[in-house]
Amino acid sequence: IDIKTLRGVTGGLTTIDPGYKNTGSCESAITFLNGEEGILRYRGYSIEDLAEKASFLETAYLLIFGELPTKEQFEKFHTDIKSHSHVDEDIKKILDGFPKSAHPMGVLSSLTNALIAFNPSSVNVDSEEEMYNAIVKILGKFPVLTAWAYRKRVGKPLDYGDDSLGYVENFLKMMFKKPNGEYNASSTVVEALDKLLILHADHEQNCSTSTVRIVGSSHAGLFASISAGINALWGPLHGGANQAVIEMLEAIKEDGGDTHKFMEKAKDKEDPFRLMGFGHRVYKNFDPRAKIIKKSADDVLGALGIEDPVLDIAKGLEKEALEDSYFVDRKLYPNVDFYSGIIYRALGIPTEMFTAMFALGRLPGWIAQWREMRLRKEPIGRPRQVYIGENHREFKAVNER
Protein backbone atom coordinates (compact mmCIF):
# COMPACT_ATOMS: atom_id res chain seq x y z
CA ILE A 1 0.00 0.00 0.00
CA ASP A 2 1.40 3.42 -0.84
CA ILE A 3 1.58 6.19 1.78
CA LYS A 4 -1.30 8.13 0.20
CA THR A 5 -3.63 5.15 0.55
CA LEU A 6 -2.39 4.54 4.09
CA ARG A 7 -3.31 8.12 5.00
CA GLY A 8 -6.91 7.44 4.11
CA VAL A 9 -7.20 4.28 6.22
CA THR A 10 -8.80 4.59 9.65
CA GLY A 11 -11.05 2.49 11.83
CA GLY A 12 -9.46 -0.88 11.05
CA LEU A 13 -6.97 -2.78 13.13
CA THR A 14 -5.22 -0.85 15.92
CA THR A 15 -1.67 -1.96 16.65
CA ILE A 16 -0.22 -1.34 20.10
CA ASP A 17 3.44 -0.49 20.36
CA PRO A 18 4.44 1.05 23.72
CA GLY A 19 7.18 3.62 23.24
CA TYR A 20 6.58 3.36 19.45
CA LYS A 21 9.53 0.97 19.42
CA ASN A 22 8.53 -0.48 16.05
CA THR A 23 6.30 2.21 14.61
CA GLY A 24 7.32 4.56 11.83
CA SER A 25 5.42 7.80 12.22
CA CYS A 26 6.37 9.31 8.87
CA GLU A 27 8.45 9.05 5.74
CA SER A 28 11.48 11.31 5.93
CA ALA A 29 14.39 12.26 3.67
CA ILE A 30 16.43 14.06 6.34
CA THR A 31 18.40 11.69 8.55
CA PHE A 32 19.42 8.09 7.97
CA LEU A 33 20.20 5.98 11.01
CA ASN A 34 21.29 2.34 11.10
CA GLY A 35 21.35 1.24 14.71
CA GLU A 36 22.95 -2.15 14.12
CA GLU A 37 25.94 -0.77 12.22
CA GLY A 38 26.19 2.59 13.98
CA ILE A 39 25.63 4.67 10.84
CA LEU A 40 24.29 8.23 10.98
CA ARG A 41 23.91 10.47 7.92
CA TYR A 42 22.31 13.86 7.42
CA ARG A 43 20.84 14.13 3.91
CA GLY A 44 23.24 11.39 2.82
CA TYR A 45 26.41 12.90 4.29
CA SER A 46 28.14 10.87 7.02
CA ILE A 47 28.22 12.37 10.48
CA GLU A 48 31.97 11.73 10.57
CA ASP A 49 32.50 13.87 7.43
CA LEU A 50 30.23 16.66 8.58
CA ALA A 51 31.78 16.80 12.06
CA GLU A 52 35.22 17.01 10.48
CA LYS A 53 34.59 19.33 7.55
CA ALA A 54 31.35 21.30 7.84
CA SER A 55 30.32 24.21 10.04
CA PHE A 56 27.23 24.04 12.24
CA LEU A 57 25.37 26.67 10.21
CA GLU A 58 26.23 24.90 6.96
CA THR A 59 24.89 21.70 8.50
CA ALA A 60 21.74 23.53 9.57
CA TYR A 61 21.18 24.67 5.98
CA LEU A 62 21.79 21.14 4.72
CA LEU A 63 19.31 19.62 7.16
CA ILE A 64 16.61 22.20 6.52
CA PHE A 65 16.86 22.64 2.75
CA GLY A 66 18.35 19.30 1.70
CA GLU A 67 21.59 20.46 0.02
CA LEU A 68 24.86 21.93 1.17
CA PRO A 69 24.68 25.66 0.45
CA THR A 70 26.69 27.44 -2.22
CA LYS A 71 28.75 30.38 -0.97
CA GLU A 72 25.98 32.81 -2.03
CA GLN A 73 23.22 30.72 -0.47
CA PHE A 74 25.17 30.47 2.76
CA GLU A 75 25.85 34.20 2.91
CA LYS A 76 22.20 35.05 2.31
CA PHE A 77 21.10 32.53 4.94
CA HIS A 78 23.53 33.89 7.52
CA THR A 79 22.63 37.51 6.71
CA ASP A 80 18.92 36.75 7.06
CA ILE A 81 19.53 35.06 10.41
CA LYS A 82 21.61 37.97 11.66
CA SER A 83 18.95 40.46 10.61
CA HIS A 84 16.54 38.66 12.94
CA SER A 85 18.85 38.22 15.89
CA HIS A 86 17.19 40.86 18.07
CA VAL A 87 14.34 39.91 20.36
CA ASP A 88 11.71 42.34 21.56
CA GLU A 89 12.95 44.24 24.63
CA ASP A 90 9.73 43.26 26.46
CA ILE A 91 10.96 39.65 26.46
CA LYS A 92 13.44 40.86 29.08
CA LYS A 93 10.52 41.66 31.40
CA ILE A 94 9.28 38.08 31.10
CA LEU A 95 12.77 36.81 31.80
CA ASP A 96 12.93 39.07 34.84
CA GLY A 97 9.87 37.33 36.25
CA PHE A 98 11.79 34.07 36.66
CA PRO A 99 13.77 33.35 39.80
CA LYS A 100 17.51 33.14 39.20
CA SER A 101 17.41 29.50 40.18
CA ALA A 102 14.99 28.60 37.34
CA HIS A 103 16.33 25.83 35.14
CA PRO A 104 17.44 27.26 31.76
CA MET A 105 15.39 24.67 29.86
CA GLY A 106 12.15 25.87 31.46
CA VAL A 107 13.13 29.47 30.79
CA LEU A 108 14.03 28.68 27.17
CA SER A 109 10.80 26.87 26.37
CA SER A 110 8.78 29.69 27.95
CA LEU A 111 10.64 32.44 26.12
CA THR A 112 10.47 30.57 22.82
CA ASN A 113 6.71 30.35 23.26
CA ALA A 114 6.56 34.00 24.28
CA LEU A 115 8.24 34.95 20.98
CA ILE A 116 4.97 34.10 19.24
CA ALA A 117 3.25 37.07 20.87
CA PHE A 118 5.89 39.37 19.44
CA ASN A 119 6.06 37.65 16.03
CA PRO A 120 2.46 36.65 15.25
CA SER A 121 3.21 36.34 11.53
CA SER A 122 5.36 33.29 12.32
CA VAL A 123 2.24 31.19 13.02
CA ASN A 124 0.43 31.11 9.68
CA VAL A 125 3.03 29.75 7.32
CA ASP A 126 1.19 28.65 4.23
CA SER A 127 3.87 29.59 1.70
CA GLU A 128 7.52 28.55 1.58
CA GLU A 129 8.49 32.21 1.93
CA GLU A 130 6.51 32.55 5.17
CA MET A 131 8.12 29.36 6.38
CA TYR A 132 11.57 30.67 5.52
CA ASN A 133 10.92 33.87 7.46
CA ALA A 134 9.82 31.95 10.54
CA ILE A 135 12.91 29.71 10.23
CA VAL A 136 15.49 32.50 10.03
CA LYS A 137 13.74 34.30 12.88
CA ILE A 138 13.98 31.37 15.28
CA LEU A 139 17.57 30.62 14.21
CA GLY A 140 18.46 34.25 14.92
CA LYS A 141 16.65 34.64 18.22
CA PHE A 142 17.22 31.27 19.84
CA PRO A 143 20.95 31.74 20.60
CA VAL A 144 20.09 35.12 22.16
CA LEU A 145 17.46 33.51 24.41
CA THR A 146 19.86 30.72 25.33
CA ALA A 147 22.61 33.16 26.28
CA TRP A 148 20.11 35.31 28.20
CA ALA A 149 18.79 32.30 30.14
CA TYR A 150 22.37 31.73 31.27
CA ARG A 151 23.23 35.37 32.00
CA LYS A 152 20.06 35.85 34.01
CA ARG A 153 21.00 32.83 36.10
CA VAL A 154 24.44 34.22 36.89
CA GLY A 155 23.21 37.80 37.31
CA LYS A 156 25.03 39.29 34.31
CA PRO A 157 23.58 42.04 32.09
CA LEU A 158 21.66 40.90 29.03
CA ASP A 159 23.17 41.87 25.76
CA TYR A 160 23.43 41.06 22.09
CA GLY A 161 26.39 39.62 20.30
CA ASP A 162 28.50 40.80 17.45
CA ASP A 163 27.16 40.43 13.92
CA SER A 164 30.63 40.32 12.45
CA LEU A 165 31.25 36.92 14.05
CA GLY A 166 30.22 33.46 12.95
CA TYR A 167 27.05 31.93 14.42
CA VAL A 168 28.79 29.83 17.09
CA GLU A 169 31.46 32.35 18.02
CA ASN A 170 28.79 35.03 18.34
CA PHE A 171 26.82 32.77 20.67
CA LEU A 172 29.90 32.21 22.84
CA LYS A 173 30.46 35.94 23.00
CA MET A 174 26.85 36.54 24.07
CA MET A 175 27.31 33.97 26.82
CA PHE A 176 30.65 35.03 28.18
CA LYS A 177 31.52 38.59 27.24
CA LYS A 178 32.79 40.73 30.07
CA PRO A 179 31.18 44.04 31.13
CA ASN A 180 33.76 45.89 29.00
CA GLY A 181 32.54 43.91 25.95
CA GLU A 182 35.64 41.74 25.72
CA TYR A 183 35.51 38.08 24.87
CA ASN A 184 38.00 36.30 22.70
CA ALA A 185 37.21 32.65 22.23
CA SER A 186 40.14 30.52 21.15
CA SER A 187 39.66 28.65 17.89
CA THR A 188 39.84 25.40 19.89
CA VAL A 189 36.78 26.41 21.88
CA VAL A 190 34.79 27.63 18.86
CA GLU A 191 35.61 24.55 16.78
CA ALA A 192 34.85 22.15 19.63
CA LEU A 193 31.43 23.70 20.24
CA ASP A 194 30.70 23.82 16.50
CA LYS A 195 31.44 20.10 16.28
CA LEU A 196 29.28 19.26 19.29
CA LEU A 197 26.36 21.20 17.82
CA ILE A 198 26.73 19.36 14.48
CA LEU A 199 26.67 16.01 16.28
CA HIS A 200 23.44 16.98 18.04
CA ALA A 201 21.76 18.61 15.03
CA ASP A 202 19.32 15.84 14.10
CA HIS A 203 18.51 12.27 15.00
CA GLU A 204 15.36 11.32 13.09
CA GLN A 205 12.20 10.59 15.08
CA ASN A 206 13.53 10.84 18.67
CA CYS A 207 11.27 11.98 21.52
CA SER A 208 11.69 15.75 21.09
CA THR A 209 11.59 15.66 17.28
CA SER A 210 8.46 13.53 17.29
CA THR A 211 7.00 16.08 19.70
CA VAL A 212 7.87 18.94 17.34
CA ARG A 213 6.27 17.10 14.42
CA ILE A 214 3.13 16.13 16.31
CA VAL A 215 2.58 19.61 17.76
CA GLY A 216 3.30 21.14 14.36
CA SER A 217 0.87 18.72 12.72
CA SER A 218 -1.99 20.66 14.32
CA HIS A 219 -0.56 23.73 12.52
CA ALA A 220 0.32 25.27 15.88
CA GLY A 221 3.26 27.15 14.31
CA LEU A 222 7.02 26.71 14.36
CA PHE A 223 7.83 28.49 17.62
CA ALA A 224 5.12 26.64 19.58
CA SER A 225 6.36 23.34 18.15
CA ILE A 226 9.98 24.13 19.05
CA SER A 227 8.92 25.17 22.55
CA ALA A 228 7.23 21.78 23.00
CA GLY A 229 10.35 20.06 21.68
CA ILE A 230 12.50 21.85 24.27
CA ASN A 231 10.32 20.45 27.04
CA ALA A 232 10.53 16.93 25.63
CA LEU A 233 14.31 17.23 25.38
CA TRP A 234 14.61 18.34 29.00
CA GLY A 235 13.83 14.91 30.49
CA PRO A 236 16.77 12.86 31.84
CA LEU A 237 15.97 9.91 29.58
CA HIS A 238 16.52 12.19 26.57
CA GLY A 239 18.63 15.38 26.35
CA GLY A 240 18.62 15.94 30.10
CA ALA A 241 20.96 12.95 30.31
CA ASN A 242 23.99 15.16 29.55
CA GLN A 243 23.51 17.06 32.81
CA ALA A 244 22.69 13.84 34.65
CA VAL A 245 25.89 12.19 33.36
CA ILE A 246 28.21 14.84 34.79
CA GLU A 247 26.29 14.83 38.07
CA MET A 248 26.66 11.05 38.19
CA LEU A 249 30.38 11.15 37.36
CA GLU A 250 30.88 13.81 40.03
CA ALA A 251 28.98 11.67 42.54
CA ILE A 252 31.24 8.70 41.71
CA LYS A 253 34.30 10.91 42.19
CA GLU A 254 33.00 12.26 45.53
CA ASP A 255 32.28 8.71 46.63
CA GLY A 256 35.92 7.72 46.12
CA GLY A 257 35.83 6.70 42.45
CA ASP A 258 34.45 3.17 42.84
CA THR A 259 32.80 2.72 39.42
CA HIS A 260 31.93 -0.91 40.16
CA LYS A 261 29.62 0.11 42.99
CA PHE A 262 27.61 2.34 40.62
CA MET A 263 27.55 -0.35 37.93
CA GLU A 264 26.01 -2.76 40.43
CA LYS A 265 23.50 -0.12 41.48
CA ALA A 266 22.49 0.39 37.82
CA LYS A 267 21.95 -3.36 37.43
CA ASP A 268 19.77 -3.64 40.55
CA LYS A 269 16.17 -3.79 39.32
CA GLU A 270 14.86 -2.61 42.71
CA ASP A 271 16.90 0.56 42.36
CA PRO A 272 15.62 3.23 39.89
CA PHE A 273 19.21 4.38 39.24
CA ARG A 274 20.42 3.93 35.66
CA LEU A 275 23.86 4.47 34.28
CA MET A 276 23.24 7.83 32.67
CA GLY A 277 24.64 8.26 29.17
CA PHE A 278 24.32 4.53 28.50
CA GLY A 279 21.84 2.83 26.20
CA HIS A 280 19.93 3.97 23.19
CA ARG A 281 16.63 3.05 21.63
CA VAL A 282 18.14 2.56 18.18
CA TYR A 283 21.91 2.07 18.50
CA LYS A 284 22.62 -1.49 19.50
CA ASN A 285 26.33 -1.68 18.75
CA PHE A 286 27.72 1.78 19.25
CA ASP A 287 26.62 5.37 18.90
CA PRO A 288 28.83 6.93 16.18
CA ARG A 289 28.41 10.35 17.80
CA ALA A 290 29.80 9.02 21.10
CA LYS A 291 32.89 7.72 19.27
CA ILE A 292 33.59 11.15 17.77
CA ILE A 293 32.89 12.95 21.05
CA LYS A 294 35.14 10.63 23.07
CA LYS A 295 38.06 11.45 20.80
CA SER A 296 37.11 15.12 20.80
CA ALA A 297 37.10 15.15 24.63
CA ASP A 298 40.72 13.97 24.63
CA ASP A 299 41.69 16.51 21.95
CA VAL A 300 39.91 19.48 23.52
CA LEU A 301 41.10 18.86 27.06
CA GLY A 302 44.62 18.37 25.70
CA ALA A 303 44.52 21.58 23.64
CA LEU A 304 43.16 23.57 26.56
CA GLY A 305 45.61 21.99 29.00
CA ILE A 306 42.81 20.76 31.26
CA GLU A 307 42.96 17.59 33.32
CA ASP A 308 39.52 16.46 34.37
CA PRO A 309 39.46 13.43 36.66
CA VAL A 310 35.89 12.61 35.65
CA LEU A 311 37.13 11.85 32.12
CA ASP A 312 39.10 8.93 33.59
CA ILE A 313 36.07 7.84 35.59
CA ALA A 314 33.97 7.95 32.40
CA LYS A 315 36.51 5.87 30.50
CA GLY A 316 36.69 3.41 33.40
CA LEU A 317 32.91 3.01 33.42
CA GLU A 318 32.81 2.43 29.67
CA LYS A 319 35.56 -0.20 29.88
CA GLU A 320 33.83 -2.00 32.72
CA ALA A 321 30.44 -1.92 30.96
CA LEU A 322 31.95 -3.41 27.79
CA GLU A 323 33.01 -6.42 29.85
CA ASP A 324 29.84 -6.75 31.93
CA SER A 325 27.24 -9.27 30.73
CA TYR A 326 24.31 -7.11 31.95
CA PHE A 327 25.36 -4.26 29.66
CA VAL A 328 26.62 -6.50 26.84
CA ASP A 329 23.42 -8.61 26.75
CA ARG A 330 21.21 -5.52 26.65
CA LYS A 331 23.48 -3.83 24.10
CA LEU A 332 24.02 -0.79 26.30
CA TYR A 333 26.84 1.44 25.07
CA PRO A 334 27.77 5.07 25.75
CA ASN A 335 25.49 7.43 23.87
CA VAL A 336 26.04 10.99 22.61
CA ASP A 337 25.55 12.40 26.09
CA PHE A 338 28.17 10.34 27.88
CA TYR A 339 31.25 12.38 26.98
CA SER A 340 29.66 15.65 25.79
CA GLY A 341 29.35 17.17 29.28
CA ILE A 342 33.08 16.76 29.86
CA ILE A 343 33.74 18.89 26.78
CA TYR A 344 31.07 21.47 27.65
CA ARG A 345 32.65 21.83 31.04
CA ALA A 346 36.12 22.29 29.54
CA LEU A 347 34.66 25.04 27.33
CA GLY A 348 33.44 26.86 30.45
CA ILE A 349 29.77 25.99 30.08
CA PRO A 350 28.10 25.33 33.43
CA THR A 351 26.38 22.00 34.08
CA GLU A 352 22.83 23.36 34.22
CA MET A 353 23.30 24.76 30.69
CA PHE A 354 24.26 21.43 29.11
CA THR A 355 20.76 20.49 27.97
CA ALA A 356 20.21 24.01 26.65
CA MET A 357 23.33 23.51 24.53
CA PHE A 358 21.77 20.33 23.20
CA ALA A 359 18.64 22.31 22.33
CA LEU A 360 20.72 24.88 20.44
CA GLY A 361 22.32 22.04 18.48
CA ARG A 362 19.02 20.23 17.83
CA LEU A 363 17.22 23.37 16.66
CA PRO A 364 18.04 22.89 12.93
CA GLY A 365 16.85 19.28 13.10
CA TRP A 366 13.57 20.28 14.72
CA ILE A 367 13.11 22.97 12.07
CA ALA A 368 13.96 20.60 9.21
CA GLN A 369 11.52 17.97 10.48
CA TRP A 370 8.77 20.53 11.04
CA ARG A 371 9.29 21.99 7.54
CA GLU A 372 9.26 18.55 5.94
CA MET A 373 6.07 17.68 7.80
CA ARG A 374 4.35 20.87 6.63
CA LEU A 375 5.59 20.65 3.02
CA ARG A 376 4.37 17.07 2.79
CA LYS A 377 1.02 18.22 4.15
CA GLU A 378 1.04 15.49 6.74
CA PRO A 379 -2.20 14.82 8.59
CA ILE A 380 -2.61 15.71 12.23
CA GLY A 381 -0.74 13.25 14.48
CA ARG A 382 -3.31 11.32 16.43
CA PRO A 383 -2.45 7.82 17.65
CA ARG A 384 -5.10 5.36 18.84
CA GLN A 385 -5.08 3.29 22.04
CA VAL A 386 -6.32 -0.02 23.37
CA TYR A 387 -8.85 0.84 26.05
CA ILE A 388 -8.49 -1.19 29.27
CA GLY A 389 -10.77 0.80 31.62
CA GLU A 390 -14.24 0.14 33.01
CA ASN A 391 -17.09 -0.92 30.79
CA HIS A 392 -20.29 1.13 30.69
CA ARG A 393 -21.36 2.29 34.19
CA GLU A 394 -24.52 3.93 35.46
CA PHE A 395 -23.98 7.44 36.86
CA LYS A 396 -24.90 7.91 40.56
CA ALA A 397 -25.54 11.32 42.12
CA VAL A 398 -22.98 12.35 44.74
CA ASN A 399 -25.26 11.57 47.75
CA GLU A 400 -25.82 8.04 46.43
CA ARG A 401 -22.09 7.15 46.16
C-beta separation of 49 from 352 below 8 A? no
| Pick 277 or 365: Cβ nearer ligand ACO | 277
| Pick 276 or 353: Cβ nearer ligand ACO | 276
Residue window 270-309: x/- pattern of binding to ligand ACO, with contact defined by CB under 6 A: ----xxxxxxxx----------------------------
C-beta separation of 258 from 264 below 8 A? no
Residue window 96-115: x/- pattern of binding to ligand ACO, with contact defined by CB under 6 A: --------------------
Q: Can you tell me which of 55, 209, 210, 335 binds ligand ACO, judged by CB under 6 A? A: 335
The Cα–Cα gap between 222 and 135 comes to: 8
| Pick 152 or 238: Cβ nearer ligand ACO | 238
Residue 375 contacts by C-beta under 8 Å, 6 or more apart in sequence?
128, 131
At residue 99's C-alpha, the angle toward residues 169 and 163, to 5°, is 20
Quick one: which of 107, 89, 114 has its CA closest to 146?
107
Options 280, 287, 298, 308, the catalytic residue: 280
Q: How far is the CB of 196 from ligand ACO (least distance, A)?
A: 12
C-beta separation of 177 from 88 below 8 A? no
Torsion of CA 297, 362, 79, 82, to 10 degrees: -90
Return the biggest CA–CA distance within the chain: 76
The Cα–Cα gap between 62 and 43 comes to: 7
Q: Can you tell me which of 104, 221, 239, 341 binds ligand ACO, judged by CB under 6 A? A: 239
Q: How far is the CB of 227 from ligand ACO (least distance, A)?
A: 19
Judged by CB under 6 A, the number of residues near ligand ACO is 19
Catalytic, 280? Answer yes
Q: What letter would DSSP give residue 12? A: S
Q: How far is the CB of 376 from ligand ACO (least distance, A)?
A: 25
Site stretch for ligand ACO (CB under 6 A), options 22-30, 122-130, 249-257, 335-343: 335-343
The Cα–Cα gap between 225 and 155 comes to: 29
Residue 263 Cα to chain centre, angstroms: 27
Q: Can you tell me which of 194, 204, 337, 378 binds ligand ACO, judged by CB under 6 A? A: 337
Q: Can you tell me which of 3, 29, 154, 237 binds ligand ACO, judged by CB under 6 A? A: 237
Q: What letter would DSSP give residue 2? A: -
Catalytic, 219? Answer no
Q: How far is the CB of 324 from ligand ACO (least distance, A)?
A: 10
Q: Which residues bind ligand ACO (CB under 6 A)?
A: 19, 237-239, 241, 266, 274-281, 330, 332, 335-337
